[in-house]
Chain A
Amino acid sequence: MTVVIGFEGSANKIGVGIVRDGVVLSNPRRTYITPPGQGFLPSETAKHHRGVILTVLKEALQQAGLKPADIDCVAYTKGPGMGAPLVTTALVARTVSQLWGKPLLGVNHCIGHIEMGRLVTRANNPTVLVIALQDIREERLDRARVRICDKLSRKNLVKLRAKIREISPCFCKPFKTIIVPINYHQNGRHSSGGKLPRTGSNPARVIKISNDPSPGYNIEQMAKRGKQYVELPYTVKGMDVSFSGILSYIEEAAHKMLGSRQCTAEDLCFSLQETLFAMLVEITERAMAHCNSQEVLIVGGVGCNLRLQEMMGTMCKERGARLFATDESFCIDNGAMIAQAGWEMFRAGHVTELPDSWITQRFRTDEVEVTWRD
């Protein structure tokens, strides 16, 4: 029996989860919620996390009915994510690891989503669409493929992986990966690197959408009441999409339409969803056709969106492919997903020595050598 505790705090959620051999024993979490139309700044988010992390940790142990001595390994999110919150989380993980005398393990956040998705759905070898707060990425981690990503092809990957335009996804076949950063939140400082994004790159801000519980959720609710389809820029280039056109359109033209009552905010949310998701489903379908893939798993925050699920499901049906059900346990950032990925890695002999237990805001999924799929 192997028991792993996982700490996740790469964005506005702080969670601690405990997993024992594929069973989630506990998974408490807190979310830092900002006022409508505002994103969360790294320092404020870290402050929130610092305030609650020990309470969450206590809850996790209590709910699992475990003592520190029962834990075999302490996993934490090494990245990618926002610097300050990552540091806070890693600091606590490091401390308890030393206090309890248990090995430490840094985990890639996206691998956490994927491994949790595989655990919950028992999907064998799916194409995974990971929609984290910052991005949507489609991953297919399978033994063979990831192993092919050895030194030589890793070099290719660096060349391959890219976002072509302002915000666009990237496709990389050795991984069967599409990465699409999508973010309803983004505001003020960019979460990674502290650079200012173009103003107005946030539809939620323009339409003044509440962050409680999340802008994505509220966009979905408003979209249900939208009736009129407003045509928005639709950009698909091969396996890449670009959202920059939509975002600036919402900022400018749509803003005026709202003012003159040509359409409602609900209509805009509806059209935004229809357009964004059509683009995502289209490139997913392209990737599937390209890789002869017949299974899809949606993971990450926006993955909870029922309309996206419906569209993806229709696409899969038309192709005779299978869409796995989405579940909050692997879609929304939480501690158990880090624990689960940590569990796999720990069993495969991975540990992180204290001097190596740093965090990184940028951490590509393909930098992780997947050795636990044998």
Chain B
Amino acid sequence: MAVEKTNNHVLHFLRSAELLKQGAEARVYRGEFLGKPTVVKERFPKLYRHPTLDEKLTHRRTVQEVRSILRCRKAGISVPVVYFVDYTSHCIFLEDIVGSVTVRDYINSAHTSEAKNLEVVARKIGEILAKMHDEDLVHGDLTTSNMLMKRGPGCGEADLLLIDFGLSYISALPEDKGVDLYVLEKAFLSTHPNTEALFETLLKSYSASSKKSQTVIKKLDEVRLRGRKRSMVG
């Protein structure tokens, strides 16, 4: 009964929703759920992989995403509210951050005159990541498309939210946090060329906001060095 009911919810929603984006992992729909603007993230089956593996991965990631979002909310880290989860169709119903843009689009659409705004954003990213890492939460897929800004460029101060926690996990190890930042650095600098200074600002703000930043930054430097050596092979 219960399953049937939830499936009805899901089906009903998906039927009336608009496909927002097909990412690498999931389809994201936008619609209304119980009168609220809602985004649904559907981790549909990946036909290329073994069904057992697919089911395991999809389930694990859905669970992890929901868990981490809740953990963030408890710690006062801005993330969308989870309205509803259906573990049979692997759908997460999330608060739609109306009028938001990804940090990626925000940076790409910003004009050079708005360098100050970008610095504010970089500082905010540093702060929110510091807070997240201090909760021993490692995101696992930090990119500028997995961060949302509540308002577009040129509209003054804006709020920053983290999304896409499917690859996240709990760890207190500075190594894991360092790698998390390293993943972001790679994504950041390759998505937004010539932003080394901006990323430096981000890291400075991270260091200033986190109590345990020193060991993490040290690990980050180690990981960078390792990468440099290894990347020359083969």
Chain A residues within 8 Å of B, Cβ to Cβ? 80-81, 132, 134-135, 137, 148, 152-153, 156, 158-165, 170-174, 179, 181, 192-193, 229, 231, 234, 236-240, 274-275, 278, 281-282, 285-286, 288-290, 310-312, 314-315, 318-319, 361-364
Contacts and interface: CB of A to CB of B under 8 A. Distances in A.
Nearest to A284: B24
Given A237-B141, A289-B23, A315-B46, A156 B189 contact: yes
Nearest to A155: B196
A237 B141 CA distance: 6
B142 interface: yes
B223 interface: yes
6 contacts: A153-B193, A164-B227, A278-B50, A285-B24, A318-B47, A361-B233
B186 A170 contact: yes
B144 to A, nearest CB: 11
A208 to B, nearest CB: 24
A170 B231 contact: yes
B41 to A, nearest CB: 14
Given A164-B179, A174-B190, A238-B140, A159 B185 contact: yes
Nearest to A366: B231
Interface residues of B, number: 40
Interface string B221-233: 0011011101111
Nearest to B190: A173
Contacts of A148: 193
Contacts of B185: 159-160
Q: Which 8 A-B pairs have the closest CB atoms?
A: A162-B227, A173-B190, A362-B232, A134-B234, A314-B48, A161-B231, A135-B234, A289-B24
B24 A286 contact: yes
A230 to B, nearest CB: 10
Interface of B: 22-25, 46-50, 52-53, 56-57, 140-143, 167, 179, 182-183, 185-187, 189-191, 193-194, 196, 223-224, 226-228, 230-234
A199 B47 CA distance: 35
Contact of A163 (B47, B143, B191, B227): B227
Contacts of B142: 238
Contacts of B48: 278, 281, 310-312, 314-315, 318
B230 A163 contact: yes
- Among B57, B167, B190, B228, chain A packs the most CB atoms within 10 A around the CB of B190
A181 B141 CA distance: 21
Contacts of B50: 229, 274, 278
A148 to B, nearest CB: 7
B24 to A, nearest CB: 4
A159 B50 CA distance: 36
A192 B20 CA distance: 47
Given A153-B193, A281-B48, A315-B46, A229 B53 contact: yes
Nearest to A173: B190
Contacts of A278: 48-50, 53
A288 B24 contact: yes
A274 B53 contact: yes
Contacts of A363: 232
A80 B232 contact: yes
A66 B49 CA distance: 49
A173 B233 contact: no
Contacts of A173: 187, 190-191
A162 B53 contact: no
A286 B166 CA distance: 13
B233 A80 contact: yes
Given A238-B187, A275-B53, A162 B47 contact: no
Contacts of A153: 193-194
Contacts of B167: 236-238
Contacts of A282: 24, 46, 49
Contact of B233 (A134, A158, A275, A318): A134
Contacts of A81: 234
A231 B54 CA distance: 11
A225 to B, nearest CB: 16
Given A164-B223, A238-B183, A278-B53, A364 B231 contact: yes
Given A278-B50, A315-B48, A192 B234 contact: yes
Given A229-B53, A274-B49, A163 B231 contact: yes
A88 to B, nearest CB: 19
Nearest to A134: B234
A162 B224 contact: yes
A212 to B, nearest CB: 23
Given A289-B22, A363-B232, 16 more contacts: A137-B234, A162-B182, A162-B186, A162-B228, A163-B230, A164-B179, A164-B227, A171-B190, A179-B234, A234-B53, A234-B57, A236-B167, A274-B49, A282-B49, A286-B25, A310-B48
A237 B227 contact: no
Given A179-B231, A237-B179, A362-B232, A281 B49 contact: yes
Contacts of B190: 156, 160, 171-174
